[in-house]
Structure 1
Amino acid sequence: MLPTRGIAADPRPPPVNWKTAPFTAALYDYAVQNRILSRVGARVLWGYDIDHLRDAIAAQDTSALTLDIPCGGGIAVDDNPRHIAADISPTMLKRARRRTKSLLQTDIYALPFGDATFDACLTYNGLHCLDDPATAIRELTRVLRPGGTLTGTTITRGSGRDPLITLLQHQGSFGTPGTVTDLHTWLETADLTDITLTPSGAVTAFTARK
């Protein structure tokens, strides 16, 4: 079993409605999992080539003990007991169960794992849904082993899609996305190194090492 630690429940409510809006979660996951819809949607909404995401997922090290949060409906998941898929949304976890049984409902701000547990952490398309991405990055860094990698994608401000980002914030789907510069600062402040940022439209892919 993975080492865990007792953590008091985070008193902050989720800033967005992914946990309590099953229809929104299911609709989003359906679109992401559908290759045609996801390709068109990513290009039209965000100017993003979603093949970059699929290539990153295909390049994962399946031997690494990996935490994938938020896992959504399991786009990055395979049936591998060393890949732990976690999310705050019961709907997303129910959909991810089609791909794996290694599932955990938890809050990214308060992960129930000891320090230096994982070889890798993945966070695809999740940071922009959070009210405090910097804190989430620090928590992901905490559970990484020295030499471990943090990999992910997030929507960032400053690429011409800011009005859409603001609309989705008002709707309750987005938290507090930052710019590419903000993302670099968050990673650097978490004491991560070898930071690589790769913008594509409004989406920035990132990797960093502990």
Structure 2
Amino acid sequence: MATPASPSIGINQHSLVKTKPLSVTWKSQYLPHSLLLPNIIRSSSAHAVVPEISSTHSQTSEANVELFGCPVCYEQLIRIGPSGFNIPAIYRSAFKCRKCNKAYSSKNVYLDLTVSAGAKVYNEPKPIRTELFRSPLVSFLYERGWRQNFALTGFPGPDQEFQMAQEYLRVVQGGVLVDLSCGSGLFSRKFAKSGVYSRVIALDFSENMLRQCYDFIKSDASMLSSNLALVRADVSRLPFSSGSVDAVHAGAALHCWPSPSNAVAEICRILRSGGVFVGTTFLRASQATPAMLVIQRALESSYSYLAEEEIEDLCRSCGLVNYSKNVQGSFILFSAQKC
């Protein structure tokens, strides 16, 4: 069942240079040079200027209810700043939960919507699989050799995987798509450039993966004004209100999640009725895939490799229907729909 297309998002080209303060107190009225001049190389570790929500509002201030939700209470966020759904506009905006009053802002060109965003001292240890992809080296290498090795296990390659996913997502084109655990944005960029989604959110927990995604984006000036946002969030606490998203894509991700059941339950929660979830992952190795047996036995304590029937059962137990799959070696592309 298809969902109604979301309205198109207008982009004010003039807002890419300078904006009035509205109800936000800016530490700088200008974007960093890396946003204005995408062809200039920027260090991935550079810090962005963070806007602060003013305690007093001017009579000309504008506050709009945003697509994003608070990861603490799941209420929609109020956005204060320039209009437009693109990296420069979101960078110059501040967000605040209208229920719990927690504030969020962009940091290093991505919007941090984790529960611990803004924490000064608290640091929560994460599983090894999570910390691995937060590494600057792994983030840098992901599209420079790491991802290419997936072909050895049956993955058909990014271009074909994208086309396969698009077939399953055809019924929700025109809607909002979240590319979950997007890594360096390999598929996020493809979805955004396809022009068939009203908004694309590249979402990952790794700060360095999101910085790599931005480094790829800034090499194409047209993508800075595309309907694409970079968001840091936890897969077990997705920053969207219930029933607000049309499609979720998760490429080579499910086996990396600390709790696949919590993640799929969250995906089902944020999907609208008729919304589609498409994912790819490595299947649990069997005698039919002897090459993967050795690799997975060495990594089984760090990753959650599932069998075909387990993935289907997981989707159905979380309330998803119309399950289908495409299997090639240890590669599986699966799809399910919110009823």
Query: If the TM-score is normalised by the length of the shorter chain, which range does it land in?
Result: 0.7 to 0.9
Q: Could you say what secondary structure the match of 2:132 adopts?
A: coil
Q: Relative to structure 2, which stretch is displaced further, 79-88 or 145-154?
A: 79-88
Is 1:199 matched up with 2:316?
no
Q: Please point out which of 68, 79, 91 is paired with 2:179.
A: 68
Q: Which residue of 1 aligns with 2:235?
A: 108
Q: Which residue of 1 aligns with 2:270?
A: 143
Q: Relative to structure 2, which stretch is displaced further, 90-99 or 116-125?
A: 90-99
Q: Could you say what secondary structure the match of 1:2 adopts?
A: strand
Is 1:182 matched up with 2:306?
no
- Count of aligned pairs: 200
Q: Which residue of 2 aligns with 1:91?
A: 208
Structure-2 change in CA distance of 1:196 and 1:64 (3 Å): same
Contact 1:156 1:180 in 2 (8 A): yes
Q: Relative to structure 2, which stretch is displaced further, 46-55 or 198-207?
A: 46-55
Whole-angstrom CA distance in 2 between matches of 1:29 and 1:169? 24
State the Cα RMSD in Å. 2.4
Using structure 1 for the length normalisation, give the TM-score.
0.84
Contact 2:134 2:209 in 1 (8 A): no
Structure-2 change in CA distance of 1:57 and 1:195 (3 Å): closer
Is 1:4 matched up with 2:69?
yes
Q: Please point out which of 136, 143, 165 is paired with 1:22.
A: 136
Whole-angstrom CA distance in 1 between matches of 2:238 and 2:333? 23
Shift of 1:18: 3.4
Using structure 2 for the length normalisation, give the TM-score.
0.54
Letter in 1 for 2:318: A
Query: Cα deviation per residue 1:85-142 (whole Å; 9 max; x = unaligned)?
Result: 1001111111212335511001001011110010001111111112211211111111
Give the structure, 1 or 2, with the largest relative contact order (CA under 8 Å, sep 6 or more).
1
**Residue segments in structure 2 that go unaligned for 5+ positions in a row:** 1-65, 74-114, 117-123, 218-222
**Percent of aligned pairs with the same residue?**
23
Contact 1:155 1:177 in 2 (8 A): yes
Structure-2 change in CA distance of 1:6 and 1:71 (3 Å): closer
Shift of 1:3: 4.2
**Residue segments in structure 1 that go unaligned for 5+ positions in a row:** none
Q: Please point out which of 239, 244, 250 is paired with 1:123.
A: 250
Whole-angstrom CA distance in 2 between matches of 1:15 and 1:191? 30
Structure-2 change in CA distance of 1:180 and 1:108 (3 Å): same
Contact 2:203 2:231 in 1 (8 A): yes
Structure-2 change in CA distance of 1:197 and 1:12 (3 Å): farther
Query: Cα deviation per residue 1:147-204 (whole Å; 9 max; x = unaligned)?
Result: 100001011103421321232345xxx5212111111111010110000021111111
Contact 2:285 2:296 in 1 (8 A): no
Letter in 2 for 1:2: L
Letter in 1 for 2:246: D
Whole-angstrom CA distance in 2 between matches of 1:12 and 1:196? 36
Shift of 1:42: 2.7
Whole-angstrom CA distance in 1 between matches of 2:231 and 2:181? 10
